[in-house]
Amino acid sequence: MALDEIKIGGLGASRKRVEDNRFIRGKGNYVDDVVLPGMLHMEILRSPLAHARIKSIDVSGAWAIPGVRLVLTGEMMAARNLAWMPTLSYDTQAVLATDKVRFQGQEVACVIADDPYIAKDGCEAIVVDYEPLPPIVNPVQAMAPDAPLIRDDKVNQVDNKIFDWEVGDKDGTDRAFADADVVSEIEMHYPRSHPSPIEACGSIADFDRSTSKLTVYMTTQAPHIIRAAVSLVAEIPEHMIRIISPDLGGGFGNKVPVYPGYVASILASILTERPVKWIEDKSGNLISTGFGRDVYLKGQLAMRNDGKILGVRMHTDSDHGAFFSDAQPSKFKIGLMHSAFACYDIPNAHLTATGVYTNKAPGGVAYRCSFRVTEAMYFQERMIQAAADDLGMDQAEFRRVNLVRDDDFPHRTPFGFLTDSGQYEKCLDIGLEAVGYADFKQEQEEARKRGRLLGIGISTMTEPLGAGNSREYDILGIKMFDSAELRVHMTGKAILRTGAKTQGQGHETTWAQIVAHELGIPADDIVVEEGDTDTAPFGMGTYASRSTPVAGAAVAMVSRKIRAKARKIAAHLLEVSEEDVEWELGRFYVRGAQDRGVSIQECAMAAYSNVPDGLEPGLENNAYYDPPNLTWPFACYIAKVEVDPETGVWDVLKMVAVDDCGVRINPMIVEGQIMGGLTEAYAMANMQFITFDEDGNCIGSNYMDYLLPTAWETPGFELHEVVTPCPHHPIGAKGIGECATVGGPAAFVNAVMDALKHTGVRNIDMPLLPDRVYGALMTGNDISGMPPVKTEA
């Protein structure tokens, strides 16, 4: 008898997360929990200024403090060719500043001491003489003709522009606009935000001179990429580097890049010949590490009077900070911005993008999105709503007219991606029904008569998740595929390792479920390990919702390799030819005689004790998976809000999420991902931003200014499910980790805009703080750009 798949924790089982057992007991093992004998502690001195020339650095005060073991400056790094390091976007980034500081919070010096208190005292004792330079805090300032040159370290850099990039069909799009009945235009800004995982970044570098081996415990989402990067930067042979990424307290993209602290701790360990621990504080994390967004859009839609969209034009100006260190596929300068409008049937599209340097922290990362898809989908859904209003057409109906139909797949998107599956209109209908859209217009009208402002906002989007394929997706030339290695022990238990790196997604739980589905080995009998480059097979790491689409597929494929070998063993045990062996979950049996069978566990034992002639013993294998395409989950998010006309405060009355991420491996974990994503979406729409004053001071450098929503204000969410299996993924799964963060913000903003529609206001840029909403209500004007920040006395 085949096993009950749910009982063994296979596909579709809402199995409790096995990793939670140690997390809720306080038994997690994070970088800061690791203590090595003789370990020293490093603290970083950061620049208080956004833009300044360094005239001198006097470190004698730090050296004079008992317990200080080493002081590192840019000059010392430069002597070892380590003052600058390559970024993930073919730029360079200062490790410790030598010539200038280029953003507030930039790393200037490091003090290594017996304990972190002494190291901090040492930082305070360093005297840096700065000559202030005019700071640049936005793209307009950056591109002004007389703007000071931020990157005067680069030989051919004459202005603050990083790139001009374009994609799409300009001529076709121009023709579409010429033929249009109505053209809708809107400008907006997606403010700078920060992934801010609970755990900040950190590392422990341990260089052993006797073996020449460097071991680094590090908060990284991509240990193998880090190993390669460290090898290139520090010129240490790759086999002499071991990167261990232990438990991670969240990542959200923040822990993909290489940070100066990692590099400095490595050099410090080499110089002191002792382990050196660096644990970043929360302000350091907010002020200096990979942020998200900070993109300005000019968008246009060309339409016929009946609502059919003929063409789309987008131009983005993106602010990358002082160094272009975005973590993204190398071919695409503004990430996957051109995934915009992928769920709509639009024949013509053209996107131009300009990237600039500013005196702000570098490292634009994919904060819980697949390479700037968050901006793409936000711009798309805000443009769609504005266009519906400009046409005078119902926002749901406008989407219905333009959504790709179920029988249109595979479908070429406006900017050239190929989507392969989905039931878009069905998701929309479920969402509309759940939110009570049919009766809403009347409810809104009646409420308005009583002075109450209600609004509904819709966001429908599809997200390109699971980079590669390797033809198009690489980072610094390293192709974006993934791997899994499965070892089945003789008693039928197993260990699975992948090149991905869980940081809260629950790989230890879900990977075992995929193996259980493929082999019938109960999930509880499979241990999952990731994060140690000495033991895990090569992989590109976990971000951009790529783990289930890529590494998860590799898990299925390696399981199938194991099953293929087990089938040979089963034929041997059953004394029939392999062609006569049938499989059902957990066992092989003889065709036509279902009671004559052997379990997968019996095959495992035989692999080590009774191997047929001509077959290698053992039951282990690995698989590298290069996906044929991205996966394309779809979602429809609908928010219903009420705006207080006296204060501008808005409350979420209902938030409905309809997600189609294909086959769900662990529905509970999927729902957790959606709720987490919606919470972050709500945060960005409602309260969250990092801005800079005219002096380049970072406003949002601590958790009193940069707000994370708590359970008190986070609204409730109502989740619905549609399943359209991915046609090319081995188990039909699509990515889900980021959909709600990507699609959620526009639903909230569209809802508030809907509530304000009668005033003529078309746009308020996020976050929709009460004073901005109230200001728009009072004046009828759009509110653009960042919230007002002045450094008044």
Strand (E) or helix (H) holding 365: none
CB of 788 to other proteins, least distance (A): 5
116 interacts with other proteins by CB under 8 A: yes
Judged by beta carbon, residue 120 or residue 175, the one nearer other proteins is 120
Q: Exposed e or buried b for every residue in 600-636, given b needs 16+ CB within 10 A?
A: bbbbbbbbeeebeeeeeeebbbbbbbbbebbbbbbbb
Judged by beta carbon, residue 28 or residue 770, the one nearer other proteins is 770
CB of 641 to other proteins, least distance (A): 16
Which residues have a catalytic role annotated?
221, 368-369, 738
Judged by beta carbon, residue 219 or residue 300, the one nearer other proteins is 219
CB of 277 to other proteins, least distance (A): 13
Confirm if 28 and 250 have CB atoms less than 8 A apart.
no
Given candidates 121, 389, 463, 530, which one binds other proteins under the rule CB under 8 A?
121
647 interacts with other proteins by CB under 8 A: yes
Confirm if 523 and 8 have CB atoms less than 8 A apart.
yes
Helix%, strand%, coil% for the chain, nearest 5? 30, 25, 45
Return the SS3 of 184: strand
CB of 21 to other proteins, least distance (A): 25
Q: Which stretch binds other proteins (CB under 8 A): 145-153, 261-269, 375-383, 642-650?
A: 642-650
Judged by beta carbon, residue 282 or residue 448, the one nearer other proteins is 282
Q: How far is CA 743 from CA 276, 463, 635, 750, in A?
A: 41, 9, 7, 11
Confirm if 455 and 756 have CB atoms less than 8 A apart.
yes
CB of 624 to other proteins, least distance (A): 43
790 interacts with other proteins by CB under 8 A: yes
181 interacts with other proteins by CB under 8 A: no
Strands (E), 114-175: 127-132, 161-168
Residues 252-291 that bind other proteins (CB under 8 A): 281-283
Number of residues that bind other proteins (CB under 8 A): 38
Given candidates 117, 127, 239, 615, which one binds other proteins under the rule CB under 8 A?
117
Rounded-to-integer distance, Cα 497 and Cα 507, Å: 10
Given candidates 707, 727, 728, 785, which one binds other proteins under the rule CB under 8 A?
707
| Torsion angle (degrees, nearest 10) of CA 680, 684, 685, 686 | 90
651 interacts with other proteins by CB under 8 A: no
Taking alpha carbons only, the member of 182, 204, 322 closest to residue 264 is 204
CB of 105 to other proteins, least distance (A): 14
727 interacts with other proteins by CB under 8 A: no
Residues 755-784 that bind other proteins (CB under 8 A): 769-771, 774-775
CB of 777 to other proteins, least distance (A): 11
Residue 717: how many other CB atoms lie within 10 Å: 21
CB of 34 to other proteins, least distance (A): 19
Q: Which stretch binds other proteins (CB under 8 A): 120-128, 235-243, 472-480, 571-579?
A: 120-128
120 interacts with other proteins by CB under 8 A: yes
Q: Which stretch binds other proteins (CB under 8 A): 250-258, 450-458, 554-562, 641-649?
A: 641-649
434 interacts with other proteins by CB under 8 A: no
AA letter at 740:
A
124 interacts with other proteins by CB under 8 A: yes
Judged by beta carbon, residue 183 or residue 769, the one nearer other proteins is 769
Q: Which stretch binds other proteins (CB under 8 A): 157-165, 515-523, 582-590, 643-651?
A: 643-651
Return the SS3 of 687: coil
209 interacts with other proteins by CB under 8 A: no
Q: Which two tokens stand for residue 43?
A: 């603290």
CB of 282 to other proteins, least distance (A): 8
CB of 32 to other proteins, least distance (A): 12
149 interacts with other proteins by CB under 8 A: no
Return the SS3 of 97: coil
The pattern of x and - marking residues 687 through 706 that bind other proteins according to CB under 8 A reads: x-x-x-------xx---xx-
Judged by beta carbon, residue 235 or residue 651, the one nearer other proteins is 651
Confirm if 276 and 268 have CB atoms less than 8 A apart.
yes
Judged by beta carbon, residue 639 or residue 783, the one nearer other proteins is 783
Kindly list the strands in the beta sheet with 127-132, ordered across the sheet, starting from the edge strand earlier in the chain: 100-101, 52-58, 127-132
Given candidates 182, 478, 649, 663, which one binds other proteins under the rule CB under 8 A?
649
Confirm if 61 and 125 have CB atoms less than 8 A apart.
yes
Judged by beta carbon, residue 378 or residue 689, the one nearer other proteins is 689
> Which residue do the tokens 């033991």 mark?
535
Peptide bond just before 767 cis, omega within 30 deg: yes
Given candidates 146, 439, 451, 712, which one binds other proteins under the rule CB under 8 A?
712
**DSSP of 708-748, one letter per residue?**
---TTTPPP-EEEE-----SSSTT-B---TTHHHHHHHHHH
C-alpha angle 428-768-358 in degrees, rounded to nearest 5? 110
Phi first, then psi: give them for residue 584, nearest 5 degrees: -135, 165
620 interacts with other proteins by CB under 8 A: no
642 interacts with other proteins by CB under 8 A: no
**DSSP of 412-427, one letter per residue?**
E-TTS-EE----HHHH
The pattern of x and - marking residues 28 through 47 that bind other proteins according to CB under 8 A reads: ---------------x----
Could you tell me where the DSSP H helices lie in 208-349? Answer: 223-234, 260-272, 282-288
Contacts of 335 (CB under 8 A, 6+ apart): 326, 328, 329, 366, 370, 371, 372, 373, 375, 376
Pairing of strands 453-462, 474-475: unpaired
Q: Which stretch binds other proteins (CB under 8 A): 312-320, 533-541, 590-598, 646-654?
A: 646-654
| Residues contributing to the site for other proteins (CB under 8 A) | 43, 116-117, 119-121, 124, 281-283, 646-649, 686-687, 689, 691, 699-700, 704-705, 707-710, 712-713, 769-771, 774-775, 787-790, 792
